[in-house]
Amino acid sequence: MQCVKVLGGVLGAAALLGLGIILGHFAIPKGTDLPAPSASASQDLDLEILEAVMGQLDANRIRENLRELSKEPHLATSPRDEVLVQLLLRRWQDPESGLDSAGTSEYEVLLSFPSQKQPNRVDVVGPAGGILFSSQRSEENLTGEQGDPNVVPPYAAYAPPGTPQGLLVYANRGSEEDFMELYQQGIKLQDSIVLTRYGGVGRRAKAVNAAKYGVAGVLVYTDPADINDGRSLPNETFPYSWGLPPSGVERGSYFEYFGDPLTPYLPANPSSFRLDSDNASGFPPIPTQPIGFKDAEVLLCQVNVSVYNRLELRNSSNVLGIIRGAVEPDRYVLYGNHRDSWVHGAVDPSSGTAVLLELSRVLGTLLKKGTWRPRRSIVFASWGAEEFGLIGSTEFTEESFSKLQERAVAYINVDISVFANATLRAQGTPPVQSVIFSAAKQIRAPGPSSLSIYDNWIRYSNRSSPVYGLVPSLGTLGAGSDYAPFIHFLGISSMDIAYTYDRSKTSARIYPTYHTAFDTFDYVDKFVDPGFSSHQAVAQTVGSVLLRLSDSLFLPLNVSDYSETLRSLLQAAQQDLGGLLEQHNISLGPLVTAVEKFEEAATVLGQHVSALQKGTPNPLQVRMLNDQLMLLERTFLNSRAFPEERYYSHVLWAPRTGSVATFPGLSNACSKAMNTGPGSAAWAEVQRQLSILVVALEGAAATLRPVADL
């Protein structure tokens, strides 16, 4: 069964290649003395090159990349992480298939590790103080990889050390509501140890919520109902299925923010100012430890949690490579993924890096042959220490703030490239929707159907667009991977692309072995994507998006797709907050006007683009228009909008805690003001947030209007 799948995948891919075109296109003399491809300022995307790239992306090479990348655990800053840094460098500096240049940059960042001398432990203690039961210190060695001495024992990174002891209380997901309910039921939380399950709220939030009730320690386990569709027996789980074995423990960072904890807004260079770690914020307040469900079942009575985590300053590397643009080298299309994993990290993140390496190989080969050079520069990035809080990418944005803000066209993130092989899943800001759709329409979906990726996608996840009718549903960007600093801190149009589940077949919170020692090459090869055709499909989709962004004469960023988003956020505000605001004499009128102005300016600009595309625009006209498209996302930044939300400056995509699904600043402020009296500071904040929005939208509209309009 698996064997057939592999063959089917490979044959399917081969059939997709359009070999004739490719052979034809490359039937030109080879050699390093070829003249450079013409750098004509009005050259548009070369469709033959695009086809060639699609054809050359090779599932088997991705598989071999993954095998190598996930062979050993490569926790951030570990020796194996450094080996992978060198692997990436070697690939990107290869004379036959490398980039123009590549290098590393290193940051000195604060990470958190379990002690090697004193393992973290969870013990059940009898009334006399004897230890009745001890949790396992590591996952069971089911396939050999779990016995690797470099497997980091399960721990909650950044949880403080401590050895609290207390009665165990089950606290569900550890949300505010969960604790409130326990409290109301009269259950004593003071000095207790709470057992919580992953999901619902963020990792650190469980400890923060618990600490408010005097809880002494927190355990977090993965519930089979949340991850395995209920299966929990050894013979139902890996290596017999993709299910998480009973001993599997999800590691993770329990740090609230992203970036190096000691250098917010500054690159973590050795000379940079560092907060004293006692003054750093965002860590869990009390000892916290993750455990497997095997252990969770047997915990009873008095529990002692021993956490010996310690903070360490470590050097973490990013690897960066560039292909210089032929015409506009000062415009950067960035494509990246993190490199570090909690353990072997075959799915997270090596499935993404395996794709990244294959795409850089194919493009590097075209480059070195002299067949092709992009119009704009392409920057490839392998980020370090993402698992601890997007640290490598964040430090990069802090260090390269000005260059990126001036010149970055878009950021493409592919972290986990394949969660499962049902459908494409893409998240991004509205301007990238059209380029993802264009790419997805061009490529055949993996598997037996002959649908395009787009047509397959729309079957699994769709929405009704007032402009386009039924379209696949593009998700919004949270802060789950390295795109976060690009979109939230720098206002760069960003996207995250993967292949994922059929949600009708599983309710797993995420793929079951996430952040455990069972996330291995064989796990991917046997259960996640046998044949690697989904990996190949992601490589093709991303390759197509990348080339369209780097090579199209007119940037394929459809800024008018923001109109639809703004209108829908506005409608939510009108419907769900309009009455409340009216009671407080706050008018949504200026916001309505601002949205209308945006819509109108975007429409007119769209007409201008169409007209220019039909004519023979000169290179400066194209550049000026592209600058408007590229910089639109920047106009939504306001560094003073959310002073308490570190790094979040984008007024449309900042975190929303309010219940109304509208503009986050407005939703959150209304939610806080709702129970305060007229004239309160909370109501003033609602008005301030409204003004910030109106000014941002009017400013955005102004940048879309003809450039010599006053």
Where in the sequence numbering do the catalytic residues fall? 386
Measured torsion, CA atoms of residues 160, 161, 164, 168, in degrees rounded to the nearest 10: 60
Among 320, 346, 487, 559, binds a second copy (CB under 8 A): 320
b/e string for 387-409 if b means 16 or more Cβ within 10 A?
A: bbbbbbbbbbbbbbeeebbebbb
Among 119, 161, 478, 699, binds a second copy (CB under 8 A): 699
With contacts defined by CB under 8 A, name the span among 65-73, 438-446, 562-570, 625-633 that binds a second copy: 625-633
Strands 376-383 and 310-323: antiparallel
Q: Is 127 helix (H, G, I), strand (E, B) or coil?
A: coil
User: Closer to a second copy at the Cβ: 332 or 521?
Assistant: 332
User: Closer to a second copy at the Cβ: 261 or 530?
Assistant: 261
User: Closer to a second copy at the Cβ: 154 or 267?
Assistant: 267
Among 118, 281, 618, 657, binds a second copy (CB under 8 A): 618
Strands 288-291 and 328-338: unpaired
Is 32 a binding residue for a second copy by CB under 8 A? The answer is no
Question: CB count, 10 Å around CB of 366?
Answer: 22
Q: Binding marks (x or -) toward a second copy, 198..217, rule CB under 8 A?
A: --------------------
Is 86 a binding residue for a second copy by CB under 8 A? The answer is no
Is 85 a binding residue for a second copy by CB under 8 A? The answer is no
Is 626 a binding residue for a second copy by CB under 8 A? The answer is no
Question: CB count, 10 Å around CB of 43?
Answer: 15
Q: How far is Cα 180 from Cα 198, in angstroms, rounded to an integer? A: 18
With contacts defined by CB under 8 A, name the span among 109-117, 262-270, 470-478, 509-517 that binds a second copy: 262-270
Is 310 a binding residue for a second copy by CB under 8 A? The answer is no
Among 90, 188, 403, 441, binds a second copy (CB under 8 A): 403
User: Closer to a second copy at the Cβ: 567 or 634?
Assistant: 634
SS3 content of the chain, % helix, strand, coil (to 5): 40, 15, 45
Minimum CB separation from a second copy for residue 464, in Å? 32
Among 62, 327, 458, 495, binds a second copy (CB under 8 A): 327
Considering only the C-alpha atoms of the chain, give the largest distance between any 2 of them, rounded to a whole number of Å: 88
Is 289 a binding residue for a second copy by CB under 8 A? The answer is no
Q: Binding marks (x or -) toward a second copy, 380..399, rule CB under 8 A?
A: ------------------xx
Is 620 a binding residue for a second copy by CB under 8 A? The answer is yes
Minimum CB separation from a second copy for residue 632, in Å? 9
Minimum CB separation from a second copy for residue 652, in Å? 14
CA separation, residue 191 to residues 74, 161, 194, 207, 216 (Å): 37, 16, 10, 13, 5
Among 634, 674, 676, 680, binds a second copy (CB under 8 A): 634
How many chain residues are in contact with a second copy, going by CB under 8 A?
Answer: 65
Q: How far is Cα 573 from Cα 571, in angstroms, rounded to an integer? A: 5
User: Closer to a second copy at the Cβ: 348 or 399?
Assistant: 399
Is 282 a binding residue for a second copy by CB under 8 A? The answer is no
Is 165 a binding residue for a second copy by CB under 8 A? The answer is no
Minimum CB separation from a second copy for residue 273, in Å? 4
Give the length of the chain.
710
b/e string for 83-100 if b means 16 or more Cβ within 10 A?
A: ebbebbbebbebeebbbb
Backbone angles phi, psi at 312, to 5 degrees: -140, 140
Among 224, 261, 290, 329, binds a second copy (CB under 8 A): 329
Is residue 590 within 8 Å of 690, Cβ to Cβ? yes
b/e string for 48-64 if b means 16 or more Cβ within 10 A?
A: ebbbbbbbbbbbbbbbe
| Residue 588: partners with Cβ closer than 8 Å, 6 or more residues away | 570, 573, 574, 577, 578, 581, 690
Written as one letter, the residue type at 220 is: V
Written as one letter, the residue type at 336 is: G
User: Which positions touch a second copy (CB under 8 A)?
Assistant: 41, 100-103, 263, 265-267, 269, 271-273, 275-276, 320-322, 324-325, 327-330, 377, 379, 398-403, 406-407, 587, 589-590, 618-620, 623-624, 627-628, 631, 634-635, 639-640, 684, 687-688, 690-692, 694-695, 698-700, 702-703, 707-708, 710
